[in-house]
């Protein structure tokens, strides 16, 4: 439920927060989570003997030219009718740390929801290697320690069986699932986990928020789709070459993930930003909605909102990182972001009655902004979710402020003021019993904090800070320390009161401490 919102549409007086009137909630410095949490940091095992010579290892240990630590080569044979994918994947990983590795840890999110991942074989060189698959964690044992500068190629075969999009809270995971008219494959491929300070970082999954931390990577994907009509359309990022009917070769550089959505019923419309970015919208015919002004199509509205918000964010934050941006109507609640592709729920298309004061507009803008606050600047969405969600929610206001200024007060009332949010912005996803409490603290209080920071340091300095954060954090897993390090000592002093009001840990710690 990363971007979940309430479906109500309140109409109340505008409430724009200012530093003096925001209520602060005190908390312990080290709170006890109300939901069970385990941060699985797997320590690398040190070896007392020097690593074997390169000729004795099934690795490449000469200078390896690579832009990203991991490169994925995927061949996926997908049975559209059976909703099954048979996959062969080779991952090339270059170890960049001093301590040799004894094992490689993968995120295996598809296995967490209904056991949708079945591993057949894992090989390195010409030999099978030992592996374990437990919930969202795939551990591959290495035959010999992997030394710094060496590249290992891990070959694996597996089946992916996404579940039918269900009702209730599990429906929010419909980006990995299928409906009667749509198959969504997101988080479907095992990906190498992030390493931080010599540790593998894989978080315990739960339904509130997101818990996976993705590094950028290089993707080379072949997709062969069977048991589908010639009307099948695939929505996926990257540079696409069609090699036959329902056969595709895709290159995607810098994606944190590789999402695919397919349907025999998609309508596709496109527009181009002033900078040349192609915005593509994938919708179903049911976006034609009865409104007070007669039957109208919500699809052109969503496309225009995506186009304008992309242009706005390029002006504020920097160039969109890919050539194409895909917005897909999803048959599951709310929205969700991936590299180069975002979902906006069918529910928001159904509720659209014309105009811009609605969730179809709000969520489209929110998900588009994640191309900066996720696809470009990554973060630990489990332990510091405000770094993407608060910034994405405040980006909604920046859109309204520019494109629909007469509705910016409406936005504050509808999005923030109605809920009278409480909680610490710097909370983890594990500290909440309900999605609403999580959203109120991280998203909405986060918006209030960012708005106050803007007032504290001034317009010009605030927007320069955001642009600098994108520039410094681009391609990384950014931290709160990076965000605050961009403030000058004078600005840190100016923001002291705001930080004390919104953060459990208001004191700024530099990245070197």
Q: How far apart are CA 487 and CA 449, in angstroms?
A: 15
The DSSP call for residue 31 is P
Let me know: does 281 contact 269? Beta carbons within 8 Å: yes
Give, for 312, the enclosing helix (H) or strand (E).
helix 298-317
Q: How far apart are CA 169 and CA 182, in angstroms?
A: 19
Least confident of 35-39, 161-165, 339-343, 358-362: 35-39
Least confident of 19-23, 121-125, 153-157, 414-418: 19-23
How distant is the alpha carbon of residue 228 from its chain centre?
A: 29
- State the chain's mean pLDDT as an integer: 89
Confidence of residue 21 (pLDDT cuts 50, 70, 90): very low
Q: Which residue has the higher pLDDT, 58 or 35?
A: 58
The total of other beta-carbon atoms located within 10 Å of residue 65's CB is: 5
- How confident is the model at residue 62, as a pLDDT? 81
Mean pLDDT confidence for 235-257: 97
Length of the chain: 513
Q: Residue 15 pLDDT > 70, yes or no?
A: no
Domain pair 1-37+374-513 / 257-373, same fold: yes
Give, for 300, the enclosing helix (H) or strand (E).
helix 298-317
Q: What are the φ and ψ backbone dihedral angles of 100, each rounded to 5 degrees? A: -60, 150
Dihedral angle computed from the Cα positions of residues 361, 363, 364 and 367, in that order, rounded to the nearest 10 degrees? 160
Q: Where are the beta strands (DSSP E) in 193-313?
A: 194-196, 199-203, 217-226, 233-235, 239-244, 247-255, 260-263, 267-272, 278-283, 288-291, 294-297
For the domain spanning 257-373, the CATH number is: 1.10.390.10
Give helix then strand counts, H and E, for the chain: 12, 28
Domain boundaries defined on the chain = 1-37+374-513, 257-373
- How confident is the model at residue 46, as a pLDDT? 37
Q: What is the pLDDT of residues 314-352, one digit of tens each?
A: 999 999 999 999 999 999 998 999 999 999 999 999 999
Mean pLDDT confidence for 42-56: 41
Report the CATH architecture of 1-37+374-513.
Orthogonal Bundle (1.10)
Q: How far apart are CA 36 and CA 29, in angstroms?
A: 18
Lookup: tokens for 128: 């099978």
The total of other beta-carbon atoms located within 10 Å of residue 477's CB is: 22
- How confident is the model at residue 220, as a pLDDT? 98
């Amino acid at each position: 439920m990363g971007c979940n919102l309430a479906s109500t549409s309140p109409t109340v007086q505008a409430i724009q927060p200012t530093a003096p009137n925001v209520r602060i909630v005190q908390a312990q410095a080290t709170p006890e989570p109300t939901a069970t949490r385990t941060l699985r940091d797997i320590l690398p095992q040190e070896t007392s003997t020097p690593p074997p010579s390169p000729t004795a290892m099934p690795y490449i240990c000469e200078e390896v030219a690579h832009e990203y630590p991991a490169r994925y080569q995927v061949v996926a044979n997908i049975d559209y009718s059976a909703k099954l994918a048979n996959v062969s994947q080779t991952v090339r990983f270059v170890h960049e740390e001093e301590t040799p590795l004894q094992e490689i840890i993968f995120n295996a999110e598809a296995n967490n929801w209904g056991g949708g991942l079945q591993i057949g074989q894992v090989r390195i060189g010409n030999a099978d290697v030992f592996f374990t698959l437990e919930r969202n964690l795939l551990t591959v044992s290495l035959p010999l320690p992997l030394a710094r500068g060496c590249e290992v190629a891990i070959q694996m075969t597996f089946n992916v069986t996404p579940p039918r999009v269900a009702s209730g809270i599990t429906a929010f995971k419909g980006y990995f699932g299928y409906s009667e008219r749509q198959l969504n494959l997101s988080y479907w491929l095992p990906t190498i986990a992030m390493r931080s300070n010599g540790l593998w970082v894989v978080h315990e999954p739960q339904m509130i928020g997101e818990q996976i931390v993705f590094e950028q990577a290089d993707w080379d994907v072949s997709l062969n789709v069977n048991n589908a009509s010639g009307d099948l359309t695939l929505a996926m990022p990257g540079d696409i070459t069609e090699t036959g009917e329902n056969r595709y070769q895709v290159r995607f550089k810098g994606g944190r993930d590789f999402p695919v959505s397919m349907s025999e019923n998609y309508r596709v419309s496109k527009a181009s930003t002033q900078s040349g970015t192609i915005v593509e919208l994938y919708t179903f015919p049911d976006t034609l909605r009865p409104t007070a002004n007669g039957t109208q199509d919500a699809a052109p509205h969503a496309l225009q909102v995506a186009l304008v918000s992309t242009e706005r964010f390029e002006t504020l934050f920097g160039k969109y990182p890919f050539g194409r941006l895909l917005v897909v109507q999803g048959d599951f609640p709310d929205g969700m972001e991936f590299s180069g592709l975002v979902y906006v729920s069918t529910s928001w298309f159904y509720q659209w009655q014309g105009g811009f004061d609605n969730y179809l507009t709000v969520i489209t803008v929110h998900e588009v902004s994640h191309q900066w606050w996720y696809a470009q600047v990554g973060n630990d969405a489990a332990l510091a979710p405000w770094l993407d969600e608060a910034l994405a929610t405040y980006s909604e206001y920046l859109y309204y402020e520019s494109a629909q200024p007469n509705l910016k007060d409406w936005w504050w009332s509808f999005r923030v003021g109605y809920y009278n949010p409480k909680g610490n912005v710097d909370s983890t996803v594990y500290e909440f019993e309900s999605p609403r409490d999580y959203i109120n603290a991280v998203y909405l209080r986060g918006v209030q904090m960012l708005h106050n920071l803007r007032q504290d340091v001034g317009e010009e300095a605030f927007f320069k800070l955001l642009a600098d954060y994108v520039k410094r954090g681009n391609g990384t897993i950014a931290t709160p320390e990076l965000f605050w390090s961009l403030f000058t000592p004078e600005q840190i002093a100016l923001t002291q009161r705001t930080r004390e009001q919104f953060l459990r840990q208001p004191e700024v710690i530099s990245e070197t401490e």
